[in-house]
Structure 1
Amino acid sequence: MLREAFGSVLPDRAAFDLLAKVLDRSVRYGTLAVIDPWDGRHAFGTGDAPFATIRFTDPDEAGRLLGNPSLHIGEAYMDGRLVIEDGDLRDFLLIAVAASDVLVEQVGGLTEFAAPLRRLRRANPIARARANVAHHYDLSEEFYRLFLDPDLQYSCAYFETGDEPLETAQARKKRHIAAKLRLRPGARVLDIGSGWGGLALELARGYGAQVDGLTLSREQLTVAQDRAAAERLDERVRFHLRDYRHETGVYDRIVSVGMFEHVGQPHYREFFETVRDRLAPDGVALIHAIGRRAAPADSDPWIDKYIFPGGYCPSLSEVFAAVEKAGLWVTDVEVLRLHYAETLKRWYNRFQARRATAAQIYDERFCRMWEYYLAACEAGFRVGGLMVFQLQLSRDVGALPLTRDYMVDDERRASA
């Protein structure tokens, strides 16, 4: 951290003056007012919406932020050292995320020493993968039900207008994926990263598939197995506590939704080679994951520390390079731009409506962490260059029809 590195060379007020100069160069979207610990007021931005006013309560805060802004801004909010005075957290984070590239560039030289360590953290051997999954996904089912839809879909929904309810958009997401899988009754399906089981159950219930779901979360496994038993689908849908690298079966279809972000960049070729080896010769796979529109870059340090340890959102160039090495055909690509922003907005609003219950399950600091996570991720999809991609793959160039009309036709039939 800057203050720890330079001690009394950079007094508190001087650090805030330096921070103000950095913000003046960085804030180019929206209007941000900052109140320092001595009640000084600093204004930045365009004069246009969104508008936010924040107050720093700790004289040491500027030094911390200059040392690692992406990490310490979230920690300051969690610990109450950053207070939203006007506007709301979502407004502030839209401004902050839009400014983040320039802001980090301004102070980037101070954090370059950490880059090799961050690259090491992308490695995701099986033992670490289990620990990383437990950190996030083994929170209680009761907590996740506070803000997810009843089917517990914890991934990007699919909106047609942007105005429909979350439940409708999540149902459309499942139909959209099923149409790309071109399912037939009796198809053997592998669901890598099956979560609480909603997609696997839908593929069995609505399309007659036989599904094996893989998860590393004990909490999710229990919920998914209980749901399958309750619907009397447990003979057609089986869930396993198993890493994808330990799977040995062969399947007509493979689907993975919201799991690829946890694979780890050093393991991309291994992942796609596993998909290739587990697919039948005429099989089809569909990978749904978060990516970035720009060149490869490090994960956000706050998200990495508090939310998704070891997580990484790739550029498409990284993904395609690994697919090529695995010898698979890319048969379709779709980029969903603002769909996850709309999903996260709804999760944030639902979480806020039941925030008091969340604080009873965990505590106030946890709630501040969680609302910051949801709002920051929404901003990442609105102004920060994040998106979702759906990548359809096959081993055989002739495994699918010549045009993609079948996707639309199958989806419409399922909707009807």
Structure 2
Amino acid sequence: MCGREAIVFDQNRLSAWVRGVSSQIKLPLRLELWNGQAIDFSTEAPRVTIRLPQASAARYLLTPSLASLGTAYVEGDIEVRGHARDMIGVVNALARSSLKGTMRPDGRLARVVRSLTVHDRKKDAAAIRYHYDVSNEFYQQFLDPNLVYSCAYFEHGDEDLATAQLKKIDHILTKIRVQPGQTLLDIGCGWGALVLRAAEKFGARCVGITLSENQYALACERVERAGLAGRVEIRLQDYRDVRGTFDRITSVGMFEHVGIRHLPDYFGIIARLLAEDGVAMNHGITSTDPANGEAPYGGGEFIAKYVFPHGELAHIGAVLTAMQQGGLEAYDVENLRRHYARTLAIWTDNFEARAGRVKELAGEKRFRIWHIYLAGCAYAFDQDWISLYQVVCGKAGRHPRALPWSRGYIYGRD
């Protein structure tokens, strides 16, 4: 015997582990062993079933984490049945139990890896293509019709996804006071929803940039269909190569790809591109752990390996510091963590409802990656392990005439 099959497994060890876990927590979990034996972790009907097809797969359970169990699920070493959100809840409960109440593992290794990560145009472009250039139809399976791939804004809490995404875009454009005829740069424009809205409703002249060829092609097509070719330009371009001056700048769900140590330079480029009296907004995901910068139980490790190569999350304090170092002053900060938890929960449900088509488009392995990723992120936002902040900013030390003294204008009260 060789490789994984050479691993000798002691079934008594698994039995002891099951007894230890079930004495601490009751889970709606059924464990099916390679020999046909089934073990329930509570009297409640199981909502999640984990099947170990061979004895060697038990090692993933003995040190459970989202990284280890997620990897085993993605690679087909274990089988998992159940709704994704139930799966994530069970895995995190197992991880908590194994860590004996420790909320977050030691993040020193993760910090060392981040410090060695080099972000350049070639690597960043490859990472973007890996994540976004699956296919446009893949994203259409779970996003809203406008393909807005970022946190929605639920003004009242009961909006459907399409309405909440449109409200998010309007919320951003209202916050930065976009006026007719002004120039707007959208860094990481996705499939073009924000620049199209800024031109149609607010009368702006827009440039949207992306590194994804799929996004670029569809965004250009949408601009043409909307008859906005004279007011909206889509570019396949790195933010570091943009030249000119813009009255307004938006960056929505993009700065997570920049790298923490590169954030001062990133914000410095925004400051350079921004008009003297201009206003910008950075809308992005942050860590809520200033020490480690990692989601607990291996969530960050899983995402870095399978979903977002070279992605990094900074704490909001580090973001504001980097802004200041880059020559920007924060005028307004809003936490939309709850909104992203709801957004991701809807995406997860949509993804599962169209599982058959997703597998046809992307294959079984990528389906499993995204199954875990979407539900895991929804759980992480719900638990305040990660967050989402909109930060309105401008050139440091200026007194922007564009922004009223009160925040009332954001809600139509000025």
- Aligned counterpart in structure 2 of residue 402 of structure 1, from 383, 402, 405: 405
Equivalence for 2:163: 168
Q: CA deviation at 1:326?
A: 1.9
Equivalence for 1:347: 347
Using the TM superposition, name which of 299-308 and 171-180 deviates more. 299-308
Q: CA deviation at 1:71?
A: 2.1
Q: CA deviation at 1:56?
A: 2.8
Judge conservation of contact 1:189–1:253 (CA < 8 Å) in 2.
yes
Q: Partner letter of residue 224 of structure 1?
A: A
TM-score, with length taken from structure 2: 0.86
Distance 1:98 1:305 in 2: 22
Equivalent runs, 1:28-47 vs 2, <5 Å:
32-38=29-35, 39=37, 41=39, 43=41
Equivalence for 2:373: 373
Equivalence for 1:203: 198
Equivalent runs, 1:4-403 vs 2, <5 Å:
11-13=9-11, 16=14, 20=18, 23=21, 32-38=29-35, 39=37, 41=39, 43=41, 52-64=48-60, 69-84=65-80, 88-97=83-92, 100=95, 103=98, 115=110, 118-120=113-115, 122-295=117-290, 296-298=292-294, 300-383=300-383, 385-395=385-395, 396-399=397-400, 400-403=403-406
- The percentage of counterpart residues that share the same residue type is 35
C-alpha offsets along residues 140-183 of structure 1, whole Å, 9 cap, x if unaligned? 11211122111110111111233321111111111111111101
Using the TM superposition, name which of 222-231 and 98-107 deviates more. 98-107
Distance 2:55 2:162 in 1: 45
Judge conservation of contact 1:122–1:312 (CA < 8 Å) in 2.
no
Distance 1:234 1:214 in 2: 15
Q: Partner letter of residue 140 of structure 2?
A: R
The change in CA–CA distance for 1:385 and 1:49 in structure 2 (over 3 A counts) is farther
Q: How big is the alpha-carbon RMSD for the aligned residues of Structure 1 and Structure 2?
A: 3.2
Judge conservation of contact 1:97–1:383 (CA < 8 Å) in 2.
no
Q: Partner letter of residue 270 of structure 1?
A: D
Equivalenced residue count is 402
Using the TM superposition, name which of 87-96 and 123-132 deviates more. 87-96
Distance 1:14 1:311 in 2: 40
The change in CA–CA distance for 1:127 and 1:18 in structure 2 (over 3 A counts) is farther
Judge conservation of contact 2:26–2:41 (CA < 8 Å) in 1.
no
Q: Partner letter of residue 398 of structure 1?
A: H
SS of the residue 1:202 aligns to: helix
Distance 1:165 1:110 in 2: 37
SS of the residue 2:41 aligns to: strand
Distance 1:53 1:380 in 2: 22
Q: CA deviation at 1:64?
A: 4.1
Distance 1:42 1:219 in 2: 45
SS of the residue 1:338 aligns to: helix
The unaligned stretches of length 5 or more in structure 2 are none
SS of the residue 2:168 aligns to: helix
Using the TM superposition, name which of 292-301 and 391-400 deviates more. 292-301
C-alpha offsets along residues 319-360 of structure 1, whole Å, 9 cap, x if unaligned? 122112123211000001221121112212222222222222
Q: Partner letter of residue 41 of structure 2?
A: A
The unaligned stretches of length 5 or more in structure 1 are none
Judge conservation of contact 2:14–2:62 (CA < 8 Å) in 1.
no
SS of the residue 1:309 aligns to: coil
C-alpha offsets along residues 176-222 of structure 1, whole Å, 9 cap, x if unaligned? 11111101101111100001111111001110101111111111111
Distance 2:16 2:393 in 1: 50
Q: CA deviation at 1:24?
A: 6.3
Distance 2:190 2:320 in 1: 25
Judge conservation of contact 1:123–1:267 (CA < 8 Å) in 2.
no
Using the TM superposition, name which of 48-57 and 247-256 deviates more. 48-57
